[in-house]
Amino acid sequence: MIGERLKQARKAAGLSTRALGEKAGVSAMSISKYETGKATPSSQVLINLGKALDVKVEYFFRPYKLELEEVEYRKHSHVPKRVLGQIEGDLLEQIERFFELEGFLPNGPIKPFKVPAGLPDRIASYAEIEKISNHVRDKWSLGLNPIPDLTDTLEERGIKIFQTDALHNNRFDGLATRVQGAPVIVVGKEWPGDRQRFTLAHELGHLLMAGRLVRSLDEEAAANRFAGAFLVPDSEVRKELGNRRTWLEPNELCVLKKTYGLSMQGWMHRANDLGILPDSYYQRMAKFFSKQGWRKKEPCADYPREQPKLFEQLVFRALAEDVISESKAAELMKKSLSEFRSMRNLEHAGSHQ
């Protein structure tokens, strides 16, 4: 058990056996033996390893051992294997804490995810995806207005959302997987909010449309179409932009980005998808954005980042119901007992997120 935990934490930290050994004051050979079960670290070495890996000693004895199922990366092909291991290691550590917490609350507020009833068995065109998105919004009672907190919306419906620092660059557009059958979506913790939201909606599209697309439709293009439609329904796009445009003012797009949490370029795509901004005019705008250097960094302020709240809420619920101790709550939150008590007493409420 300790060996598996050690290897998982090392991968999550992006460290080689040599690098970890140097930080913990042991040899790379010792790390290798610990991971393969050929040797057992002493108590002091475990403490040193925990400090080097930024985990509590209790982590090495955690009973939960979960596996990622049906892992789907939205990535470029040249991503190093080491980076993939770091992402999966970090994700597994978060998921194990979440599932351990859920074990204390078998009658918690979140029910298993269910695909909304009434979706068509076959989707034959990208245009049909607009109706599907509207149908999901209707079934989930979301109306047509902007969704202020997409993470919360998905978590309430049984989709587990995690963020990771390992998704720190532009090589990834997200990760989707399942754990014990439950759908999981992962986004970069430091991504701008509009990128996080589009990725969440994109992965939701994959989840809902799986097995329904005809072969002639590209799955990624279909998921992109769903994401745009879910964030801004067709009727709202037409209300904001009208039915025919030859140009979209950048300042106009900045205001819409701030209102709906969809990027400026996302709005351009929506306008093009719906025939509001014909192909030739869309290409003209795309070239303009490239010339200005706005493809990588848009000129207006980033949309605020999404902040998952469910895990923290459940920790305090379990604590309030006396099913976990304060020290266990601190362990689940990856905080020292003093840090957790400060948090519990709302001593830093103004700055805490």
DSSP assignment of 66-112 equals ---EEEEEEE-TT--HHHHHHHHHHHHHHHHHHHHHHHH-TT-SPPP
Q: What is the pLDDT of residue 263?
A: 97
Nearest to 114 by CA among 90, 134, 140, 94: 140
Flag whether pLDDT at 195 surpasses 50: yes
Residue 348 vs residue 145, higher pLDDT: 145
* Rounded-to-integer distance, Cα 275 and Cα 317, Å: 49
Q: Comparing C-alpha atoms, which of 69, 115, 56 is closest to residue 95?
A: 69
* Sheet of 172-179, strands arranged across: 69-75, 172-179, 182-188, 160-164
Judged on CB neighbours under 10 Å (0-12, 13-18, 19+), 168 is middle
The 3-state DSSP class for residue 188 equals strand
Q: What is the SS3 assignment for 293?
A: coil
pLDDT at 77 over 60: no
User: Comparing 68-77, 317-326, 335-344, which segment has the lowest mean pLDDT?
Assistant: 68-77
pLDDT at 351 over 50: no
φ, ψ (nearest 5 deg) of residue 207:
-65, -45
Q: How many helices (H) and strands (E) does the chain have?
A: 16, 4
The chain-wide mean pLDDT, for the chain, equals 90
Name the burial class of residue 20, with classes exposed (0-12), middle (13-18) and buried (19+) by CB atoms within 10 angstroms of its CB: buried
Question: Which of the two residues, 86 and 52, has the higher pLDDT score?
Answer: 52
pLDDT over threshold 80, residue 353: no
Taking residues 269-292, report their average pLDDT. 98
Residue 25 has a pLDDT of 92
pLDDT of 186 > 60? The answer is yes
Q: Are 153 and 147 in contact (CB under 8 A)?
A: yes
- Sorted by sequence, the CB contacts under 8 Å of residue 51 that are 6+ apart come out as 24
Residues 342 and 291: their CA atoms lie apart, in Å, by: 50
Burial of 348 (0-12, 13-18, 19+ CB in 10 A): exposed
What is the predicted pLDDT for the residue at 107?
76
- What residue has token string 């920790």? 315
At residue 227, does pLDDT exceed 90?
A: yes
| Residue 21 and residue 52 in contact, taking contact as beta carbons nearer than 8 Å | no
CA–CA distances in Å: residue 157 to residues 12, 33, 116, 150, 182: 28, 43, 10, 11, 11
* 352 pLDDT above the threshold of 50: no
CB hemisphere CA count around 336 (13 angstroms): 6
Task: Specify the pLDDT at position 225.
Answer: 98
Question: Tell me, what's the pLDDT at 74?
Answer: 74
Q: What is the rounded distance in angstroms from the CA atom of residue 217 to the CA atom of residue 211?
A: 12
Comparing CA positions, the residue from 145, 176, 141, 159 lying closest to residue 68 is 176
Which one-letter amino acid corresponds to residue 152? D
CB 212 within 8 A of CB 116: no
Correct CATH for 1-62 of 1.10.10.10, 3.30.470.30, 2.40.50.100, 1.10.260.40: 1.10.260.40
Paired residues of 185 in beta bridges: 161, 176
